[in-house]
Amino acid sequence: MPLLSADPAAFPAEPPADTHDPAVTAAHDWAAFSALDEMTDHWARPGWSDGSRAYYWMLTFPDDQRLAALAGHCQEELAHLGLDPVPADGLHITLARVGKPDAVTPGQLDSLARQAEALLPSAFRIRAMPLAGSRGAVRLSLGPWEPLLRVHHALAGAGSGLGLTLKKPTSAFRPHLSLAYNNRRRPAAPVVEVVSGLRALPDVELSVRSVQLVEIRREGRTYRWDVQEDLPLG
């Protein structure tokens, strides 16, 4: 598997020193977020206007009540900041972008799913928490990163032989789970201050037994998707 590398488009730009230790990745996330001077508008993304669609690999947790409860509590505490909360049934870990519907055929999607199914690693568990953020969102740190990197690497391998190279290589992957999106330019300090008071909440264990290939769409200031394939991990 390729090692993580520095990437100015990723957040944090520098990778953590250890992808096996959740404490290391969480501290690395927090150091990067707490050092921000300004947050940017998550929705100001070129080519991703309201109604835009694309195929993505994701991990979704529609029935995880503990994750939904943690997200809801954090969102309540953040509400006065005017962020856009992620709905309970919209909580997800973005793995990789595959392409837009007008550039990827149904046959390619089917071939991609079959290739990925043969390469995916075994099921695993990760921890979500503590809270941190990025330039455009407040999000949960995840750990350990290592099994998530293995999944990403498998998906990259599945697409490479089909002309569906992932937008970001595994070396630039920074796993996270967003709870609320920032919707305007603002000083980061007030958001960092609120988030810092929520970092001692108990973490949640996530069971990852499958990976989803979805057609995601932007609806106003939220994301919705239709699952195209739900592939079990080995």
Query: For residue 106, what pLDDT is reported?
Result: 93
H helix runs in the chain, sequence order: 22-34, 65-78, 106-119, 146-160, 189-196
pTM of the entire structure? 0.95
Q: Give the separation between CA 71 and CA 181, rounded to whole angstroms.
A: 13
In this prediction, residues 204-233 reach a mean pLDDT of: 97
The H-assigned helical ranges of 120-188 are: 146-160
Between 200 and 1, the higher pLDDT residue: 200
Q: What is the pLDDT of residue 1?
A: 53
The DSSP code for 168 is S
* pLDDT of res. 154: 96
Domain boundaries, the chain: 22-232
Two tokens, residue 230:
């739900």
Residue 70, pLDDT score = 97
**CA–CA distance, 116 with 233 (Å, rounded to integer):** 10
The fold for domain 22-232 equals Cyclic Phosphodiesterase; Chain: A, (3.90.1140)
**DSSP-H helix ranges across 36-134:** 65-78, 106-119
pLDDT tier, 2 (very low <50, low <70, confident <90, very high otherwise): low
Q: Of 33-37, 165-169, 178-182, give the lowest mean pLDDT range.
A: 165-169
Taking alpha carbons only, the member of 42, 88, 41 closest to residue 64 is 88
Please report the pLDDT score of residue 234 as a whole number.
78
Is pLDDT above 90 for 47? Answer: no
Long-range Cβ contacts of 43-51 (<8 Å, 24+ apart)? 43/181, 43/183, 43/218, 43/221, 48/218, 49/218, 50/218, 50/219, 50/220, 51/217, 51/218, 51/219
Give the integer Cα–Cα distance in Å for 167 and 154: 14
What percent of the chain clears pLDDT 70, i.e. is strictly above it?
99
What's the confidence (pLDDT) of residue 165?
87
Query: Do the beta carbons of residue 130 and residue 140 sit within 8 Å?
Result: yes
| 204-208 sheet: strands from edge to edge | 84-85, 177-181, 137-143, 124-133, 204-208
Q: Tell me the sheet residues that pair with 162.
A: none
Please state the rounded mean pLDDT for residues 129-144: 97
pLDDT digits (tens, 9 = 90+) for 68-124: 999 999 999 999 999 999 999 999 999 999 999 999 999 999 999 999 999 999 999
Question: What is the reported pLDDT for 233?
Answer: 96
